[in-house]
A and B are shown apart, each in its own frame.
Chain A
Amino acid sequence: ETGVTQSPTHLIKTRGQQVTLRCSSQSGHNTVSWYQQALGQGPQFIFQYYREEENGRGNFPPRFSGLQFPNYSSELNVNALELDDSALYLCASSGGGREPSYEQYFGPGTRLTVT
């Protein structure tokens, strides 16, 4: 198992609400990437944070936002939740050097259900 942790494990929210998901990166890693995995699909890249700065973003609307803290843990915030936001949200930890590295190690995910 990787040292990447996520909280909470499961979450149920109502349409229009806001949610914050959390990720602790593996020790020594300074980069966190967030993905959305719908049922039966591959993960889709949301964005990446490297040393507290956004370092790339996928095709997700601005209501998906993030943050990385000095200890390299990260948050994913989603505003104005929609039913289609129901998915498994995965964070992946990587890096440790002066540049982002390629190998990404996933956390267990947060299962978000929007009703």
Chain B
Amino acid sequence: GENVEQHPSTLSVQEGDSAVIKCTYSDSASNYFPWYKQELGKRPQLIIDIRSNVGEKKDQRIAVTLNKTAKHFSLHITETQPEDSAVYFCAATGGGSQGNLIFGKGTKLSVKP
């Protein structure tokens, strides 16, 4: 079945450094790729997304890139801050349904002051 692989599972950076999280997907029909941030005990929060007709999207310190040929997409966070510490999930639409988001297993990002 459809699958989304996410790496790394944990990432520790110093405040001010950049962080990169990578995902690959298996369903060539996937056309929407959101990223969610989930703090401990809280709901997943949509932070940025990209559609298949776009290669890159940026919103302040975060950016997402998509390579449809390789079925890769990545989240880039620049100038990290301690409040960026959370679990980040990538997702991709799958199963021919817009509603079916297939999530990666998450990356626990720790930003050390």
Contact = CB atoms under 8 A, between A and B. Distances in A.
Interface of A: 2, 4, 31, 33, 35, 40-45, 48, 50, 55-56, 58-59, 90, 94, 100-109
A3 to B, nearest CB: 12
Nearest to A4: B43
A48 B100 contact: yes
Contacts of A94: 99
Contacts of B100: 45, 48, 56, 58
Contact of B44 (A43, A44, A100, A102): A43
Contacts, number: 70
Contacts of B68: none
Interface of B: 1, 4, 6, 32, 34, 36, 42-46, 49, 51, 89, 91, 93, 95, 97-106
29 contacts: A4-B43, A33-B99, A35-B101, A40-B105, A40-B106, A41-B105, A41-B106, A43-B44, A43-B89, A43-B101, A44-B103, A45-B99, A45-B100, A45-B101, A45-B102, A48-B97, A56-B95, A56-B100, A58-B95, A58-B100, A90-B44, A94-B99, A101-B98, A102-B51, A104-B34, A104-B46, A105-B46, A106-B36, A106-B43
| 5 pairs of A and B residues whose beta carbons are closest in the complex | A42-B103, A48-B99, A56-B97, A106-B43, A102-B32
Given A43-B89, A45-B100, A100-B98, A106 B105 contact: no
Given A59-B1, A102-B51, A43 B43 contact: no
Contacts of A40: 105-106
Nearest to A111: B41
Main secondary structure of the interface of B (DSSP, over half): strand
Contacts of B51: 102
Main secondary structure of the interface of A (DSSP, over half): loop
Contact of B43 (A45, A56, A58, A109): A109
Given A90-B44, A103-B49, A42 B32 contact: no
A100 B96 CA distance: 13
B43 A90 contact: yes
Given A59-B1, A102-B51, A106-B43, A43 B97 contact: no
